């Protein structure tokens, strides 16, 4: 039986106290991304201390939250699709 918890980006945003609808998450990524390649997710200036600590702890723990934290990291480091620019 699979007892692992499968969190979503919405769950993560709820957990760190941010608006968590799909539109909210898209807007957050649009406003804060892309991060420089040398900027670690948890070192980004837009997190408060508590948010950064939670993300750091969960990523290191490689537990239930690790996959969704990694997903957020990828979203914030990815460059927008050139086709969508100016749309």
Q: Residue 47 corresponds to which tokens in the numbers above? A: 């997190």
Please check whether residue 69 is in contact with residue 38, taking contact to mean a CB–CB distance below 8 angstroms: no
> pLDDT category, 61, cuts 50, 70, 90?
confident
The per-residue pLDDT for range 31-53, each reduced to its tens digit, is 999 999 999 999 999 999 999 99
CA distance 50 to 16: 8
Hey, what domains does the chain have and what are their CATH numbers?
9-79 (1.10.10.1130)
Six token digits for residue 23: 């539109």
Highest-confidence segment of 19-23, 62-66, 81-85: 19-23
Tell me what pLDDT residue 2 has. Answer: 45
DSSP state of 21: S
């Amino acid at each position: 039986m699979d007892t692992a918890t499968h969190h979503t980006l919405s769950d993560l945003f709820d957990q760190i106290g941010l608006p968590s609808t799909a539109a909210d998450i898209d807007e957050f990524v649009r406003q804060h991304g892309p991060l420089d390649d040398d900027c670690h997710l948890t070192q980004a200036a837009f997190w408060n201390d508590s948010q950064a600590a939670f993300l750091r702890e969960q990523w290191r723990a490689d537990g239930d939250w690790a996959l969704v934290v990694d997903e957020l990291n990828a979203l914030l480091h990815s460059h927008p699709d050139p086709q969508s620019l100016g749309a």
